């Protein structure tokens, strides 16, 4: 059996690379696969599918209630879309059954509304009948109580199950032949392969092509084991 001797500097370099990837939320297997260069005539950007775990968006007024006057979000790591990040701030969500879900992370940047995004399973556990909505649509949505280290607040709306969606730029929409608000299918091959229907197209000129599904959906298809992913009009 052959052995390879690494000198100290080489070991330190490898350790730094691993730590840097962890701290930055390095690419998962599905992202590494998706980031392979596109073939000639293929889609303009690689497809990335990410699970959007339960989280909170918050406006400044509510952040200060939960974390104290003058509170600001502090970045833990960047997310896939430029300018978006997971913060170090965590809250506890309390449902009408007095059941709680702790350690719900706040995502930045700041919003002009407060919103909690949960999975269907989370809603059953908390006793909240979650409506399926695109982020920001809070009409006729339920509320909940939120606990922070410096205070608590009860919102009367803004708790949703996020509708699965794909972020697209102008170039992406042109390639796939869709427009903002259209629905597509997401086909995932693998040991637990599935095809998700009603994947909503969300347009922004500066976004990177990315699909968001929730935790229940990610578990159903065992996303980490996916061998191929495809958007279908």
Domain of residue 220, CATH code: 2.40.40
Domain end call among 145, 162, 179: 162
Mean pLDDT of 87-106: 97
- One domain, residues 100 and 130: yes
What is the distance between the alpha carbons of residues 29 and 227, in angstroms, rounded to a whole number? 10
Bridge partners (DSSP) listed for residue 161: 132
DSSP state of 53: -
What is the distance between the alpha carbons of residues 135 and 116, in angstroms, rounded to a whole number? 9
- One domain, residues 106 and 64: yes
Residue 183 in any domain: the answer is yes
- One domain, residues 158 and 58: yes
pLDDT score of 165 more than 50: yes
What is the distance between the alpha carbons of residues 20 and 231, in angstroms, rounded to a whole number? 31
Place of tokens 């833990």: 76
Q: Tell me: the pLDDT tens digits for 112-129?
A: 999 999 999 999 999 999
Split into its structural domains, the chain has a count of: 2
Q: Tell me: the pLDDT tens digits for 190-227?
A: 999 999 999 999 999 999 999 999 999 999 999 999 99
pLDDT score of 38 more than 50: no
Domain end call among 106, 133, 162: 162
DSSP state of 37: P
- One domain, residues 117 and 148: yes
Other Cβ atoms within 10 Å of 134 Cβ, number: 12
User: Residue 230's pLDDT band (boundaries 50, 70, 90)?
Assistant: very high
The four Cα atoms 62, 145, 156, 74 give a dihedral, to 10 degrees, of 30
**Model confidence pTM above 0.85:** no
| Beta strand 55-57 pairing with 100-108 | parallel
DSSP state of 205: T
Task: Establish how many alpha carbons lie within 13 A of residue 2's alpha carbon, considering only the half-sphere containing its beta carbon.
Answer: 1
What is the distance between the alpha carbons of residues 200 and 47, in angstroms, rounded to a whole number? 15
Domain limits at 149?
53-162
B/e letters for 4-13, b = 16+ CB within 10 Å, e = fewer, are: eeeeeeeeee
For residue 31, what are the contacts with CB-CB under 8 A and spacing of at least 6?
A: 48, 50, 80
What is the distance between the alpha carbons of residues 211 and 201, in angstroms, rounded to a whole number? 9
Question: What's the pLDDT score for residue 42?
Answer: 73
């Amino acid at each position: 059996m052959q052995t390879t001797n690494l000198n100290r500097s080489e070991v330190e370099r490898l350790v730094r690379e691993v730590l840097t990837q962890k701290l930055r939320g390095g690419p998962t297997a599905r992202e590494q696969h998706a980031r392979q260069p596109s073939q000639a005539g293929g889609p303009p950007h690689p497809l990335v599918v990410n699970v959007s775990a339960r989280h909170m968006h918050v406006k400044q007024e509510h952040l200060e209630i939960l974390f104290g006057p003058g509170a600001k979000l502090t970045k833990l790591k960047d997310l896939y879309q430029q300018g978006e990040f997971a913060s170090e701030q965590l809250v506890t969500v309390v449902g009408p059954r007095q059941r709680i879900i702790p350690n719900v992370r706040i995502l930045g940047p700041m919003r002009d509304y407060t919103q909690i995004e949960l999975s269907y399973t989370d809603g059953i556990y908390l006793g909240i009948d979650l409506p399926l909505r695109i982020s920001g649509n809070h009409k006729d949505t339920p509320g909940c109580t939120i606990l922070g280290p410096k205070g608590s607040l009860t919102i009367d709306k803004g708790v949703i199950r996020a509708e699965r969606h794909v972020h697209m730029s102008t170039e992406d929409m042109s390639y796939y032949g869709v427009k903002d608000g259209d629905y597509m299918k997401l086909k995932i091959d693998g040991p637990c392969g599935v095809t998700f229907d009603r994947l909503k197209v969300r347009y922004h000129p500066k976004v990177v092509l990315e699909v968001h599904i929730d935790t229940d959906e990610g578990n159903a298809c065992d996303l980490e084991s996916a061998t191929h992913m495809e958007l279908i009009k």
